[in-house]
Amino acid sequence: MTKEIDLYQLIYESNLESRLEQILIGLIKDSPSPQIEEAIRKFLLFVQHASENFWVTFHDA
């Protein structure tokens, strides 16, 4: 259960669009499999890196 809560926390902290948050949470609830959770974790990590890279580029401009 802790792993699932952590995933919800990651979704919340990613500051995604509301609809995208709903879709990801729906995937977790409807298909609670390790493969789905891992794919969502990888996606959130990609979003985090892309966001960080954007702000670094923005401040360097």
Q: Is the pTM of this model over 0.85?
A: no
User: What are the tokens at 59?
Assistant: 């401040």
Buried b (16+ CB within 10 A) or exposed e, 36-47: ebeebeebbeeb
Pick the closest to residue 28 from 17, 44, 15 (CA basis). 44
Q: What is the SS3 assignment for 38?
A: helix
For 5-48, how does the pLDDT look when each residue is reduced to its tens digit (9 = 90+)?
688 888 888 888 899 899 999 998 888 888 988 998 888 888 88
For position 2, what pLDDT does the model report?
57
